[in-house]
Structure 1
Amino acid sequence: MSEYDVLCIGNAIVDIIARAEDDFLHDNQIIKGAMNLIDAERAELLYERMGPAVEASGGSAGNTAAGIASLGGRAAYFGKVCDDHLGAIYRHDICAQGVAFDTAPLPQTPPTARSMIFVTPDGERSMNTYLGACVELGPEDIEEDKVAASQVTYFEGYLWDPPRAKHAIRKAAEIAHAHGRQMSMTLSDPFCVDRYRDEFLDLMRSGAVDIVFANEDEVKSLYQTADFSTACEAMRADCRLAIVTRSEKGSIAMSKTETASVIAHEIDNLVDTTGAGDLYAAGFLYGYTAGRSLEDCANLGSLAAAVVIQQIGPRPQVSLRQSAIDAGLVKG
């Protein structure tokens, strides 16, 4: 029996979230709906210009780990922070959610990563990320015992930006597969796909990655087609299990022989889409590692995403397990 359901590997980032109008994005040359990598100087400039903000531990895979723990799953996390104020916040938050996090912090510099996230009235989030300590995540941070003890190791495509992280991921994949475990990734965003299309396709086609999460824009970008069905069938052929989210249109999960399409979970009020894809992955992987059907997994993902987009911030502020029980998706 595995010790962990899912081990998540990602950029450990503290999110600084504020509301903004579209004019603010235009005036500050921020690409709407994307994750924009910035340097320390621009990070300080945007922080000075943003309005009242909420600080919350984030990072795509960290959010997924927190979601799995909130559902009652056993989650672990690898990510690099600095031994500074934001690093202490990050470590406290993820451990308080019940996630095993033992990656050694950097003693001094660079500082813990932070992302200035501007949420426009339509709920869309535009991220401006200074990676800081994240760039120091490397093969030495891969704890072999945790990888071997996890049913699925999941990582974010954003890790292809820091140069040493991709070596860490390849090491984790070798360990996981040597122990009969599976590797999973999320494509993260269309701009990330544009930067690393060939490498992502190689990860899938070589079998280094078994399970891939994408949204509609990302999968079309990956296969450079405007036709959704064409992109989905190509993705089905390239990996063991492909999952594509479509916002209010629901999601689709595809193995070589099976397809499950589910509708989006209904919400009362869209507040902030930050973390929607991360929490969808949490719900899906929670179900997957519990042996649930593809339809059940997709419904759990839809529920988790629906909960998080009705609040500010990417980590669930209510028990996802209780939400799943109330929705009849998990037994009490």
Structure 2
Amino acid sequence: MSSSYDVLVLGGAGVDTIVYVPELPLPYADSYKIRPGIETRAGQTGDFVALGTSSLGLRTHHIDLLGDDEAGDLVRAFHRDRGIELTEVRQPAGTKRAVNLVGPDGRRLSLYDDTRSQESDRLPEDLVRKLAAASRHAHVSITYPCAFALPLLHEAGLTVSTDLHDWDGENPYHEPFAYGSDVVFVSSTALSDPVATMRRVLERGRAEAVVATAGADGSYLLTRAGGDPLHVPAVAPRGPVVDSNGAGDAYAAGFLFGRLSGEPPERCALYGAVAGAHACTVPATASEAVDRATLLAEVAALS
């Protein structure tokens, strides 16, 4: 029986307030006058992965906790306007929020409101099982509800991916995600020894592939085939770099598109690099992902 969805995205729905600053780190001052200004828009990691996979033609469904608030309305509109199916579970604490400081070079500093996430948060098991049974693959955000959903996804026989973001390789909170996923993405930013961490994820978990992203230095791919990590150079963006927000999510979406299309891991990493480069040309206040035709054309030009 064919699946209704190619990708089930769990968690990571929320709202960001974008603040453009003259430099990062931002020196202390009593006040700053900033341009282009301050804007609040829907879109956190789960939203952007769902946007990326959907834009690439993958049938995508997103499930997360949302509040009955204005922020939740923005998230609901984000999905509705882009035709991305959304299952929401009511969150009494409200919709997750963050403030992103964005410098002139596109670098970002994120401040997350941790009061909107509780250790007791759960996604209803019957809902997860129902959606998992209708899906080919699940991408889980590193939020409390998703950790408890992992066994249900394994039980359903789904392959699973996750993004550990700026994990330091030691924080035990990330381990259920790192060792319970078939494809693991992680930023190399906080890793003292990225290769050792990648090898440990492969040795201790179920991962078939681990990707360490390194910004302008590209990414590194390690699989169960062994050997040293494969360096995948960054792809030059087709336009000016204006913001790195969402580049990692776009990379993950591109990689998953390749994987679900039957491509080998190194080809998937190239898809991810192209998608991530495109995301860097999109202002933080906008929400746009590369489409399938553009991605395939750019990959063909690089091959």
- TM-score for the superposition, normalised by structure 2: 0.84
* Matched position secondary structure for 1:15: strand
- 2:155 aligned to 178, 187, 196, which one? 178
**Which residue does 2:63 correspond to in 1?**
78
Equivalent-residue separation in structure 2 for 1:230 and 1:171 (angstroms)? 27
TM-fit CA distance, 1:79: 1.7
1:212 Cα offset (Å): 1.0
Query: How far 1:89 moved relative to its partner?
Result: 1.4
Q: CA deviation at 1:244?
A: 1.3
1:266 counterpart = 2:236: yes
Gaps of 5+ in 1: 29-45, 160-164, 221-225
Matched, 1:252 2:220: yes
Displacement of 1:74 in angstroms is: 1.2
Question: Compared with structure 1, are the counterparts of its residues 254 and 314 closer, same or farther at alpha carbon in structure 2 (3 Å cutoff)?
Answer: farther
- 1:319 and 1:235 map into 2 onto residues whose CA distance is 30
What's the secondary structure of 1:153's corresponding residue?
strand
**How has the CA–CA distance of structure 1 residues 83 and 202 changed in structure 2, closer, same or farther, with 3 Å as cutoff?**
closer
Is 1:138 aligned with 2:106?
no
Does 1:198 pair with 2:166?
no
Letter of the 1:253 counterpart: L
Query: Offset of 1:11 from its aligned partner?
Result: 3.1
* Match in the other structure for 1:241: 209
Deviation at 1:114, TM superposition (A): 2.0
| Per-residue Cα deviation, 1:28-56 (whole angstroms, up to 9, x for no partner) | 8xxxxxxxxxxxxxxxxx9x997622322
The letter for the 2-side match of 1:63 is F
Residue 20 of structure 1 corresponds to: 21
Count of residue pairs brought into register by the alignment: 291
**Deviation (angstroms), 1:204:** 4.0
Shift of 1:188: 1.9
1:62-98 residue CA offsets vs partner (Å, 9 max, x unmatched): 2111110011111111122212222111111123223
Contact 2:13 2:47 in 1 (8 A): yes
Question: Are positions 1:112 and 2:95 aligned together?
Answer: yes
Contact 1:119 1:125 in 2 (8 A): yes
Contact 2:11–2:63 under 8 Å retained in 1: yes
Confirm or deny: 8 A CA contact 2:164 2:178 kept in the other structure: no
1:189 paired with 2:171, answer no
Deviation string, structure 1 residues 153-179 (Cα, Å, up to 9, x no partner): 11222x1xxxxx2xx324422222222
Does residue 56 of the first structure (1) align with residue 41 of the second (2)? yes
Letter of the 1:247 counterpart: G
* One-letter amino acid matched to 1:217: T
Q: Structure 2: how far apart are the matches of 1:200 and 1:85?
A: 30
Higher helix share: 1
Q: TM-score, structure 1 length as denominator?
A: 0.77
Aligned-pair identity in percent equals 24
- Whether the 8 Å contact between 1:81 and 1:134 is mirrored in structure 2 is no
Instruction: Go from structure 1 to structure 2 and tell me whether the alpha carbon gap of 1:227 and 1:174 turns closer, same or farther (over 3 Å shift).
Output: closer
2:83 to 98, 114, 120: 98
1:43 aligns to what?
none
CA distance in 2, matches of 1:170, 1:117: 25
Distance (Å, rounded) in 2 between the aligned partners of 1:292 and 1:316? 27
* Alignment partners' CA distance in 2, 1:112 and 1:228: 33
Contact 2:5–2:136 (Cα < 8 Å) also in 1: yes
Alpha-carbon offset, residue 298 of structure 1: 0.7
Distance 1:24 1:323, change over 3 A: same
Question: Partners of 1:277 and 1:147 in 2: how far apart?
Answer: 24
1:266 maps to a residue whose letter is A
User: What letter matches 1:145 in structure 2?
Assistant: K
Alignment-mate amino acid for residue 147 of structure 1 = A
Q: Quickly say closer, same or farther: Cα 1:132–1:203, change in 2 above 3 A.
A: closer
| Letter of the 2:156 counterpart | H
| Residue 202 (structure 1) shift | 5.1
Give the deviation of 1:315 after TM superposition. Answer: 6.3
8 Å contact from structure 1 (residues 63, 278) kept in 2:
yes
1:137 to partner: Cα distance = 4.0
Name the residue aligned to 1:32.
Answer: none
Deviation at 1:266, TM superposition (A): 0.8
Cα 1:287–1:24 change in 2 (3 A) is closer
